[in-house]
Amino acid sequence: MNFISKTTLLSTIFICSLSSADSAWAQTSMHIVPKPCSVVQNNNGVFEYSKTTDVFVDSQFDSKNVGSILSIYKHLNALFFNDLNFNVRNVKASGKWSGASGSKCITIKKNDALDAEEYKLVVDNKGIAIESATEAGLFYAFQTLMLASKLDNHSSIPYMELTDKPRFEYRGFMLDVSRYFMPKDDVKKIIDCMSMLKLNKLHLHLTDDNGWRIEIKKYPKLTEIGAWAANRNNQDFTDRYPSNIGEPTPVGGFYTQDDIKELVKYAQQRYVEIIPEIDMPGHSNAALAAYPELACPSVDVPITVVPGMRQGAGSIIYCAGNDKVFTFLEDVIDEVASLFPSKYIHIGGDEADKDYWSKCPRCAARMKAENISHIEELQSYFMRRISNYVKSKGKSVMGWDELTNSTLPEDVTVFGWRGLGNAALKAAAQGHKFVMTPARLLYLIRYQGPQWFEPLTYFGNNTLKDVYMYEPVQPTWDKNYENLLMGVQASMWTEFCKTSRDVYYQVFPRLVALSEVAWSPKGSKDWNGFAAGLDNVLQHLSAKGINYSEAMYNVQHKAVPENGKVKVSLSCDRPDVEIRYTTDGMEPGASSTLYTSPLYIESESEIRCATYKGGVKMGQTLNLNIGWNLATGKEILSSSPSDKVLTNGIRGSKKQSDFEWTDWYTKKDVSFILDLGANTDIKKVVLGCLSYSGMAVCKPKSIIVKLSSDGKEYRESAAKEFSESEIFKLGNFIEDIPFDISDGKDVRYIQVEYKYAGDCPAYYIKNGQQSRCRLDEIMVY
């Protein structure tokens, strides 16, 4: 029996009478996000909710649970009219499936032949018919109905037949509540949005250097001390120094155990499983500020909850040689295991700096006793010991991909984050399940659009389109890896967030794109269709009071020198907008010149541009000022392609990865050559140089400028050496470094040499890290 014939059990025949607006709506193609496996739209009508809609529920489902799904559906769909009611009736196996005479109804049937989370849906002139094997499938059918509804009238759903099930069992979002403590009601809003997008795993990063966020009854100092940091909110995360001993610590917060229970229940009702993460052995400053006796005795600095970058604090770590550490963590796990019904506990394992371990007599004794020859294997000992305990509680362990650096705990599920997440494949090769959350694509802390418009973060773009286009399964993979891949996760680290609005801005709309990667069938990507469906989702976000980024509407520029000119290309990820621009310094408008192909600039210019849709301005105005000097448009001879920016006439911003700065010059001396194209008399060379102490970007040890007429013989013309305090000056600023040229006759080639400044000094936020340089422009006069 096919699905359609089952629904004919509904007795009422609806006589179609559509308004012309409805008719037009029924004809337009729907773009449900995440895209279902199959949708057939029957362009001949719409279902309208009435004030009371009858819902007939197969008695194999618990009608109370269905009632609760319906009330969540109503609550999530804030765009419904207010007084919509569902009249839920239980239908025994032998009962009648019929609506009240003359009205359309919803029928819900259990179909055990379907997969968990799968559902079938028909909307036709009899009403709405849903089949699923589980309540989760049912819940997702209603989410689909919500996103299929008419944009201006959410009580109206076009006729369609739809079958749908997820691609991955693990469809995750990680929220870092350590760096920014998100109040529980705001976490609930995120859970609402996850469930609307059919995401089902909320990985809560509950502990880190910057705050311990979960009440543990046996260790009250974890939240009395570990949840609170000094107030450095007037500084960017990268500029914040650790607290001083005795300094007040007013910033932070934690979830009580009752809060956790409330969140877990709220999530469960929305088919979201919360997976707690207790990070170890590194990222443990907050815990060790509360219980410093659990750190290695080799730690020789005061331990505080750090309000910013980890600085020297980054190497503080639980002592692997102290049995009290394991007792403590086991006690913590006891309470965590009983609070979270999830089968999983995530035990971190990322970025554990082993400096103190290598100086610690207790850790040395442990290595000897356990016959461990390498310090990395000490981490393996640590993780395996905790993992065995987690398993003894009937749970499974998860951890970050650093666990593949040494012997893996048995049965651990590995989260691939470094590089393109490929470290997780080392675990897959050993038969472990894994989840992909590659930093380069799915970390939502990265910039989501043209960086000049975005709030400061570390570096790098993961645009909405980057997230959407992500395909975790690579053709080069061993066949078995795909079976071990549980799914994908977007991860939101909150270092740069001071409010929940800051978090929402970073998360949305990229989490919407992730939902398609996680749910929709492989190979079904359709960026244009997604963009249309996204607009519908965004309406729902607004109705819930969730703000989101519109970076997708901003213009990204690319300017490169080409034969003495500057070629400027403009682009926007949204497929449904026009870019319009001016070159007279005026604000662009809907009738300004339409951008169709790259512009070739030959002198100092101002380009102003923005995107428009239907005559309405969508993104922000990009002001592109192109300066001009003897170097502009000229060729750079260098092995690094990014060095081309040096002569494009456009200055960089204080955002180090805005594509106007060269790649990092690090670890070694570097040099490039500017070819002026013809012999020229010059008097001055100026280099635009970025300093950003929070990211170890600073001046080089010295710069040498050499000149040549023939490209063979070079003479040193000018040089500058910098003192340590000049190189490692604190802050985020741009400096123009001038070189007066006294022997600049008939110069064609200018060679610039940068001498590496070495590691950052102890007082620097990034102490011990290799320093790096970035230039935006070479200017010649």
Residues with catalytic roles: 208, 283, 351
Q: Least distance to ligand ACM from the beta carbon of 443, Å?
A: 7
Kindly report the CA angle at 522 between 517 and 528, in degrees rounded to 5?
65
Indicate the residue among 324 and 715 with the shorter CB distance to Zn ion. Answer: 324
How many residues at the interface with Zn ion, by CB under 5 A? Answer: 6
Size of the site for ligand ACM (CB under 6 A): 4
Neighbouring residues of 161: CB distance < 8 A, sequence distance ≥ 6 = 3, 4, 39, 40, 42, 121, 122, 123, 124
417 binds, among ligand ACM, Zn ion, none (CB under 5 to 8 A by kind): ligand ACM
Q: Which is nearer to ligand ACM, 31 or 205 (CB)?
A: 205
Count the residues in the chain: 781
Binds 319: which of ligand ACM, Zn ion, none (CB < 5-8 Å by kind)? Zn ion
Question: Shortest Cβ distance from residue 389 to ligand ACM (Å)?
Answer: 22
Judged by CB under 5 A, the residue of 72, 319, 390, 579 near Zn ion is: 319
Whose tokens are 């939502």? That residue is: 444
Own/partner long-range contacts of 78-84 (Cβ < 8 Å, ≥24 apart): 78/540, 78/543, 78/544, 79/149, 79/154, 79/539, 79/540, 79/543, 80/49, 80/154, 80/155, 81/155, 83/51, 84/49, 84/51, 84/53, 84/155
For residue 213, report the phi and psi dihedrals to the nearest 5 degrees: -115, 10
Strand, coil or helix: what is 455?
Answer: coil
In this structure, the strands spanning 684-692 and 775-780 are antiparallel
**b or e along 161-200 (b: 16 or more beta carbons within 10 Å of the residue's beta carbon)?**
bbbbbbbbebbbbbbbbbbbbbebebbbbbbbbbbbbbbb
The CA-atom distances, in angstroms, between 86 and each of 63, 72, 107, 140 are 12, 12, 12, 17
Closest CB 395 distance from ligand ACM, rounded Å: 20
Residue 80 vs 357, nearer CB to Zn ion: 357
Q: Which stretch binds Zn ion (CB under 5 A): 340-348, 359-367, 527-535, 636-644?
A: 359-367
Q: Which residue has the tokens 């100086």?
A: 359
Q: Which of 224, 258, 351, 482 binds ligand ACM (CB under 6 A)?
A: 351
* Residue 658 binds to ligand ACM (criterion: CB under 6 A): no
- Single residue of 26, 108, 175, 296 touching Zn ion by CB under 5 A: 296
Q: Which does 228 bind (CB under 5 to 8 A by kind): ligand ACM, Zn ion, none?
A: none
Within 8 A by CB and 6+ apart from 303, the residues are 285, 288, 289, 292, 295, 313, 316
Q: Quick one: what does residue 350 bind among Zn ion, ligand ACM, none, with the CB cut-off 5 to 8 Å set by partner type?
A: ligand ACM
Rounded-to-integer distance, Cα 78 and Cα 74, Å: 7
Q: Which is nearer to Zn ion, 136 or 303 (CB)?
A: 303
- Cβ atoms of 733 and 726 closer than 8 Å: no
Least separation in angstroms between residue 350's CB and ligand ACM is 4
Which of the choices Zn ion, ligand ACM, none does residue 360 contact, using the CB cut-off of 5 to 8 A by kind? Zn ion
| 496 lies in the binding site for ligand ACM (CB under 6 A) | no
Judging by DSSP bridges, how do beta strands 344-348 and 273-280 pair with one another? parallel
One of 363, 372, 428, 514 touching Zn ion (CB under 5 A): 363
Using CB positions, name the residue nearest to ligand ACM: 350
DSSP string, 748-775: EEEEEEEE---BPPTTSTTTTSBPEE-E
Q: Which is nearer to ligand ACM, 351 or 735 (CB)?
A: 351
First to last CA, the chain: 82
Query: Which member of 36, 45, 172, 321 binds Zn ion (CB under 5 A)?
Result: 321
Q: Which is nearer to ligand ACM, 382 or 400 (CB)?
A: 400
CB of 161 to ligand ACM, least distance (A): 42
Q: Nearer Cβ to Zn ion, position 289 or 778?
A: 289
Q: What angle do CA 345, 349, 351 make, to 5 degrees?
A: 145
The structure tokens listed for 131 are: 């089949």
Measured CA to CA, the distance from residue 589 to residue 37 in angstroms comes to: 41
Least distance from ligand ACM to the Cβ atom of residue 200, Å: 21
Q: State the Cα–Cα distance between residues 755 and 341, nearest whole angstrom.
A: 56
User: Of residues 382, 417, 459, 581, which one binds ligand ACM by CB under 6 A?
Assistant: 417
- Residue 669 binds ligand ACM (CB under 6 A): no
Residue 400 makes contact with ligand ACM by CB under 6 A: yes
Nearer to ligand ACM, 351 or 482 (CB): 351
**DSSP secondary-structure letter at 450?**
-
Residue 370: contacted member of Zn ion, ligand ACM, none (CB under 5 to 8 Å, by partner type): none
State yes or no: residue 350 binds ligand ACM (CB under 6 A): yes
Residues that bind Zn ion (CB under 5 A): 296, 319, 321, 360, 362-363
Residues that bind ligand ACM (CB under 6 A): 350-351, 400, 417
